[in-house]
Amino acid sequence: QSLCVHLNYPLYIRSVPTQGELKFHYTVHTSLDVVEEKISGVGKALADQRELYLGLLYPTEDYKVYGYVTNSKVKFVIVVDSSNTSLRDNEIRSMFRKLHNSFTDVMCNPFYNPGDPIQSKAFDSIVSTMMVQAC
């Protein structure tokens, strides 16, 4: 599993297991194109009530890539093993929601400089628990 939050450059990225990290990074980076395509695909008028969850971006041979975009265009991407069938769309959706909440908490930190990589223990631990659950 891999997870990343960003505005076209990574604010936070983490993956388990760590040995295939490079591959995950490439996957996530490439998926941003799909995210952008999906965003621009939705009409401007609908942008307000747009569903934040984008669903499955694309399946590769080994992974499934899911995307989520906040209203401020911060993108969340989750990559899971395609063999992992326990994760339904709904679970992924709730994972994203949880992630978004804790991301909001990070943003509320007055000492956080928007655009910096996220270095927050609280955020870290939430991500870790999510990854443990997913595995």
CA distances 57 to 60, 63, 98, 110, 120, Å, are 10, 11, 19, 33, 28
Binds another protein by CB under 8 A, chosen from 1, 2, 30, 49:
30
When the beta carbons of 12 and 68 are compared against another protein, the nearer one is 12
- Interacting positions 93-122 with another protein (CB under 8 A): 117
Binds another protein by CB under 8 A, chosen from 29, 50, 93, 98:
29
Q: What is the 3 state secondary structure string of 48-67?
A: CCCCCEEEEEEECCCEEEEE
CA distance 79 to 45: 30
CA distance 10 to 72: 15
**Judged by CB under 8 A, does residue 125 bind another protein?**
no
Binds another protein by CB under 8 A, chosen from 5, 32, 74, 92:
32
**Judged by CB under 8 A, does residue 50 bind another protein?**
no
- Contacting positions for another protein (CB under 8 A): 6, 8-10, 21-22, 25-26, 29-33, 36-37, 40, 117
